[in-house]
Structure 1
C-alpha cells in the first residue's frame, strides 16, 4: 500500500514538474489595430521571451504554472507590463505609440522591473550604443553615462568611477558574479572585453544591501549577450579599426537554440599600438593586446532554468612611464603586465507555483604577472627599459594568483497581497598567493558571509522598497619580509557590519516620477591598505599599511525627479554621501632611501553633487533628438581638504538623428556631440589644478538588410579637433602626458 502511495505521489509530482504550459496571443497598435511586428514579449522572473511575427502573433511554451509579470516592448511604442496567470488562454495586447525610447528590464536590482517601475534609479546602456559613440574600451564606454567616469593609465587601463568613488569602492559584476581581479590597484584595468557583453547597468550609490562589502560607491553590472531565440541559429562577424592607435578588433560569434537547450560561443582579439596625443606625440608603452573567449550553455524546461557561462581573457598591457620610443609596434615594452582571467559561473533557477529559488555560483582564477627591466638572478638579462620584448617570455618580477569562489542564494517568497519579498545568503572564499620575487600584498585568505532580506510594496501610484543585511568578513594574511629586511606581521581580522536601505517612488500618469532612497554601505579595508610596506615606483613614494584600519561606513540620500512626455524628457538627480572612516594615504614626514613615506590613515569624508539632463524629440520630427546633461561631484574630508581623483564638472550636448524605417537601409543614425569639461580647481592632496577642455565627437551609420542577414556599418570620431588635453582622472597627469588625440573608429558587423 505504501509503495502504491509513493508511486502515485511521484507520478503526481512528475506531472506537475514537467507539465506543458503555453501562452500565445497577438500584439496590436492601439491606434490603428494593425499587428506589431518584432515586438519583444518577455517574462523577467523566468528570463524567457520571444518576438512577434509579421502578423503580430507570438507563442511561448514550457512555462511553469503560476503568476508572472509579462513585459511587452517595441521601438516606437510605450512599454507594457501586466501580470499573467499561467496557464492562460490566448491574449491580445494593444501598445500605445510613443516617441519615448523603449525601456528594458533592469537585472541588477532584485525584482527585475522596467526602469520606470524601479524604486532605485539605475542607469542602463547597451554596449552597441556605447560603441556607436566611439568607445575604445569598455571602461572608456561607460564614462559616457551621466555620473560615471574613467580612472585611466593610458588607453588600455581604465577603472570605473561612480560619483567620485572607484577601485575597491565600486563593485563590478559579470555573468552574475562579482569580478575579483586585484581591483584595488591603480594599474589594474577592468579586465573584461566588450565583445559578448549585451548591456551595462550602473547603480550609483551604496548597494551593500544587495552586494555586501565594496559596493559602498555603487555597482557596475555587465549583462552577457543573450542566446538565440528558441529553435533558431545565429552568427556574427564583427570588426573595428581605430585610427589613432592603428588598432583593430575582431570577433566571431555563433549561437543556436532548441526549445530547451541553448549554446553560444564567441572569440575576440584586439591589438593596439601606442596612442597619439593631441600634440602629435605617441605615448610610449600605452600599447595593449587582448584575446577573449566567451561560451555558454543554457537549459530551460518548465520548472528549471540553468545557465553555465565561461569567460577567458588574456591581456598584455604596457605600463607607460615616460615618453620615449616613437613606435607603432604592438608588442609591449618593459615594464608590462600579462594577465589571465578565468570566470566560470552557473546560474540555477527553480520555479514553484508561488515562489522560486535562485542559486548562483562562480569560480575565478586571476593570474597577474608583471615584467620589469630589473629582475634578480639575471632572469631578464639583456633587457633594458623601453626595449621591445620578443621570443621567450622573461621571468616575472611579480606574479600573483587570486582564486575566488562566490555563491549567491536567493529565495523569492510567495507574494502576500502587494508585498514581494526576497531573502538570501551570499558568500565568498578567496586566496591570494605570490610566486614572483616582489610582493605587493602577502599570501592571504578572505572569507565573506552575508545574510539579507528585502521587500517591495506596490500601490497604484506608490512603490516602497526596503531591506536589512548583516555581513562578516574574515581576513587572514601571512607575515612577509620587505625589501629592506623588516617583517610585516600577519593579520587575523574580522570585520562586521549591519546595513539597510529604504526607498519610495511616486509616479503620476506615466509622466512624472519621483524617487527618494536612503541607504547605508560599508567597505572592509583591503590587503594593500592593511599590509603595504615598500616603494611604490609609479607614485615615487614609500607606502606603509595600517593593520588597525576600521570599516568604511557610509550613508547616502538620493533624490531623483523625472518628467517624461511623448516629446520631452528631463531629470534631476541629487545625492549626499557621508563616509565615516574614509581611508586615504598621508605623508608621515619621514623618508626611506630618499623617498617620502606615506601611511594609510582614516578620517570622515563627505561627497555631494548630482546630474541634470534634458532630452527633446519634437513632433512631428520624432527622429530628431536634442540631449544635454550636466554632472557635478565634490568630495571633502572633515578637516577641509578635498578628496583626490574627483572628476571635474562637465556638460555634454548631443544632437542626433535616428531613422528606423527602411526596407534595405534601416537603423540609420548620425550624431554630433560636444563635451565640455570644466576646470578642476579643487584638487585633492598631492594633486594639482587641472584645466578644462572641450571634446568634439561625431558619427553616422546604418544597417543594410540582405534577407536573413544584416550588415551594420558605422564611422565615429572622437576629439575631432585633436585637442591636447589632460584629464584630472589620468594617472599620467603628474608626468604631464596628454590623453588620446583625434581618433576615428570604423566598424562593420555581419549578423546572420
Structure 2
C-alpha cells in the first residue's frame, strides 16, 4: 500500500505543473472601488486583500475548479465558482451593501464542496462562535440550538448529539476531516470534542452512507477546524468565559502565522465547572468536570500540491452523577468518575492536475477511556486505536458532468486493560468503494451515486462460560450496497426546491453483538446478540426555501424507514437482582421535519425575528414508540443589530423563547415528560475604547429559573431537574 501511494505521487506529479493567475477589480453598485476586501480560496489555503483601487491578484495557482470568497464587513459576501484553465483568468466582482443574514457557505461535508445554493442536499452550517454566544457550556449543548438536532445529556459534562431522533452509532462525527471513534456506543460516553479551535459545524440530516459508510445512517456532524492566518501575517487571540451557575470558566489562547506557502497555528483550551445548580438551590452531585484541550496545525501549498497536518489532544476528567448528595462547589470530580484521553492526528493532501485532482487523507485516533469506582486505579480501561484512510479522485469535468471515485477504509483495535470488561478485545476492518456524479445546468442540479461497503468484526474469547464477563469469540462480516439520488431546482427566482432519496446502513456495534454483564450507567444486565443484522434504511427528504433581502422561510420534511432497527428491551429474568435486557431488532419508521422563518423588514434592517418548529415521530412495526425521541420544539428569537455606535461596534441584543411540548409518545421503559418554556437573553459587540479593542458577550439561559426535566436527560428517571438560571460573561481579545 505504501509503494502504491508513492507511485501515485510520482506519476501524477509529472502532469501537475500547469499554473495560472487570478486577478480582478472589486467595486460597489455605484462603481466605486472597494479597498480591504478579503479574497480567499479555501482549497488552496490562500488569501489576499484588495488595494485602494479595488484590485486583487493571485499568482502561481494550479489549474482546476475552485470556490473563491469575497468578503468585507460593510458588504454582502460573494462566493464564486471559478474555473482556472488559462494562463490568466480575470474575474471582476460587484459587492452590495450588507442586508443579508446568511452567507452562501462552501459545504465541505458533501465531497463536491459546492456552495449551499448549488448543493442538492440541505446542509445546516453554523459558526461555532454563534453557538458559543448562546451561553452553552459544552459543544454538545450548543449543537442543540440547531433545528433538527438535540442532545442526550447526563448533567452538563456528558452530551450525545441526536439528529431527527437517531443517536449513538447512528450519527457519525467528523473532526479535522477524520472519522471520530471514541467508544460512542455507551450511553454515558460524551461527544469527546472541545469547541476551542473549531470554526463551524455542518449537519447532514439524513443517511450519508454513500459519502461515509457505516454509522452515517442517521446523519453526520462535520466539524471544520479554524482557518490558518492570512498569507504573510501573524495573529493571536485570548478569550475567557465565566458561568454563574456552575461557577465555571472556559479559557482559550491561540496564535497563528502564515507565509505565502507555509501555515502554522496552535491553540490551547481549559474548561472547568462545579456541580450544576437546580432552580431549588441544590446542586446535582458530581456533575463537575475538567477539560484540557490542545490543537495545532501546519500546512504547505504550492502550484501543484497542498498538504495539512493537524493534531488534537483532549484530556477530560468528569464525574458520573448518581444522586443528589452533599452540596459543594468543588471542581475536582468525585468517585465514580471517568478519565478520557483522546488523540486525533490527520494528514490531508491534494495533488492538482491540469483538469482533475486527487485527495488522499489519513487519520489516527487513540482513545484511552478509564472509569474509577473508589480509587485511583481504574476498574475499567478501554484502549481504542483507529486508522482511517480516504482517497478520492476528481475526474476531469466533461461538459456539465463532475464525477468522483473513491475508496475509504478503517482498521480498528479495541483492548481491555482493566479488571472490568464491557466489550471484548476486538479488531474491526472497513473498506468501501464509491462513485458519485454531479450534473448542473441553468439553475438545476442532479447528483447520484453508488457505494459498496464491507465490515469485518473479530473478537476474542474471554472469561468462563456461564459467568458475567464471558465473551464467546465471534468472526462476523457485514456488507451493504447503498445509493443516493438528489435534485435541486429553482421553482421561482428565489424559491428553491431540493428533493433527495438515499439509503444508508449501520453494522451492529460491539456492545450490541457481545454484551454480557451489568451496565453500571443504566443499572441493568445487558446481553448482546451475535446474530444481529445490518440496520438498513431508505429516507425521502424534501426541502423548500425562499429568501430575499428581508424575508426567508424554509420547510424540511422527511420519511425514514429502517429495516432491522436494533433496540434493547427488558425480559422477565433477573441476574444478581439486575433486570436482564436483550438486544433485539424490528422494522421501524421515523418521520417529521423542521420549518422556520426569518424576517428583517426594510427600512429597519437592524431588527430580526426568527421562528422555527421541529417535530419527530418514531414507531416500530408493531406500533410501539421508539426510545429517545426528542419532544417537539418551538423556538422564537428577536434580535436587534447595530453596526456602529460611538465606541461600540457591531453590537446586538437578543431575546429567545424555547418551548418544548409534552412528550408522551415514549417506549415501554421510558417515562413521559411535561411541557416547559425557557427564556434566554443575549447581548454583545465589539468595544473600541482608549486604544483597546475587544469583543464581549453576555448571555442568560433559563432567566426565569424554571424547574424542568428534559426528555433526553438521563437523570430524569431519578426525577432530577436540569440546570437552573445560568449567566455567561465572555470576552475575546485579538492581541
- Report the secondary structure of 1:210's partner residue: helix
Q: Which position in structure 2 is the counterpart of 1:42? A: 40
> Following superposition of structure 1 onto structure 2, how do residues 289-300 of structure 1 map, counting pairs within 5 Å?
289-300=290-301
Q: Which position in structure 1 is the counterpart of 2:575? A: 592
Count of residues in Structure 1 that have an aligned counterpart in Structure 2? 722
Q: Which position in structure 2 is the counterpart of 1:213? A: 214
C-alpha spacing 1:709/1:172, structure 2 compared with 1 (3 Å): farther
CA distance in 1 between partners of 2:283 and 2:48 (Å): 49
Q: Which position in structure 2 is the counterpart of 1:326? A: 327
> Following superposition of structure 1 onto structure 2, how do residues 91-110 of structure 1 map, counting pairs within 5 Å?
91-97=91-97, 99-100=99-100, 101-110=102-111
Q: Which position in structure 1 is the counterpart of 2:636? A: 653
Segment of structure 1 superposing worse, 77-86 or 717-726 = 77-86
CA distance in 2 between partners of 1:543 and 1:54 (Å): 69
Whether the 8 Å CA contact 1:532–1:543 is kept in 2: the answer is yes
CA distance in 2 between partners of 1:314 and 1:731 (Å): 23
Whether the 8 Å CA contact 2:20–2:89 is kept in 1: the answer is no
Deviation at 1:90, TM superposition (A): 4.4
Q: Which position in structure 1 is the counterpart of 2:611? A: 628
TM-score normalised by structure 1 residue count = 0.93
C-alpha spacing 1:524/1:465, structure 2 compared with 1 (3 Å): same
> How large is the Cα RMSD of the aligned pairs?
2.0
Q: Which position in structure 2 is the counterpart of 1:566? A: 549
Q: Which position in structure 1 is the counterpart of 2:400? A: 418
Query: What whole-Å deviation, never above 9, does each CA across 1:190-211 have from its counterpart, x for those lacking one?
Result: 1111010000110000000000
Q: Which position in structure 1 is the counterpart of 2:451? A: 469
CA distance in 1 between partners of 2:536 and 2:337 (Å): 36
CA distance in 2 between partners of 1:481 and 1:196 (Å): 43
Whether the 8 Å CA contact 2:245–2:277 is kept in 1: the answer is yes
Deviation at 1:279, TM superposition (A): 1.9
Matched, 1:395 2:393: no
> Following superposition of structure 1 onto structure 2, how do residues 146-165 of structure 1 map, counting pairs within 5 Å?
146-165=147-166
CA distance in 1 between partners of 2:486 and 2:692 (Å): 45
Equivalent position to 2:536, from 529, 532, 553: 553
Whether the 8 Å CA contact 2:709–2:722 is kept in 1: the answer is yes
Whether the 8 Å CA contact 2:67–2:79 is kept in 1: the answer is no
Deviation at 1:58, TM superposition (A): 2.4
Matched, 1:478 2:478: no
Query: What whole-Å deviation, never above 9, does each CA across 1:653-703 have from its counterpart, x for those lacking one?
Result: 000012234674322111000000000011112011100110000011111
CA distance in 1 between partners of 2:123 and 2:585 (Å): 30
Whether the 8 Å CA contact 2:38–2:48 is kept in 1: the answer is yes
- Report the secondary structure of 1:308's partner residue: strand
Equivalent position to 2:701, from 711, 718, 725: 718
Deviation at 1:25, TM superposition (A): 2.1
- Listed as ranges, the gaps of 5+ residues in structure 1 are 1-11, 374-379, 381-393
Whether the 8 Å CA contact 1:78–1:97 is kept in 2: the answer is no
CA distance in 1 between partners of 2:42 and 2:271 (Å): 34
> Following superposition of structure 1 onto structure 2, how do residues 480-495 of structure 1 map, counting pairs within 5 Å?
480-481=462-463, 484=467, 487-495=470-478
CA distance in 1 between partners of 2:88 and 2:414 (Å): 53
Query: What whole-Å deviation, never above 9, does each CA across 1:564-618 have from its counterpart, x for those lacking one?
Result: 1110000000000000000001122111112211100000000000000000000
Query: What whole-Å deviation, never above 9, does each CA across 1:307-364 have from its counterpart, x for those lacking one?
Result: 0000000000100010001000000000000000000000000000100000110011
Segment of structure 1 superposing worse, 82-91 or 627-636 = 82-91
TM-score normalised by structure 2 residue count = 0.95
Q: Which position in structure 2 is the counterpart of 1:383? A: none
C-alpha spacing 1:491/1:567, structure 2 compared with 1 (3 Å): same
C-alpha spacing 1:157/1:15, structure 2 compared with 1 (3 Å): closer
Deviation at 1:709, TM superposition (A): 7.7
Q: Which position in structure 1 is the counterpart of 2:426? A: 444
CA distance in 2 between partners of 1:597 and 1:617 (Å): 55
C-alpha spacing 1:16/1:49, structure 2 compared with 1 (3 Å): farther
> Following superposition of structure 1 onto structure 2, how do residues 528-547 of structure 1 map, counting pairs within 5 Å?
528-547=511-530
C-alpha spacing 1:38/1:504, structure 2 compared with 1 (3 Å): farther
Deviation at 1:134, TM superposition (A): 1.1
CA distance in 1 between partners of 2:393 and 2:13 (Å): 22
CA distance in 2 between partners of 1:269 and 1:697 (Å): 25
Whether the 8 Å CA contact 2:76–2:95 is kept in 1: the answer is yes
- Listed as ranges, the gaps of 5+ residues in structure 2 are 1-10
- Report the secondary structure of 1:284's partner residue: coil
Q: Which position in structure 2 is the counterpart of 1:377? A: none
C-alpha spacing 1:737/1:28, structure 2 compared with 1 (3 Å): same
C-alpha spacing 1:567/1:334, structure 2 compared with 1 (3 Å): same
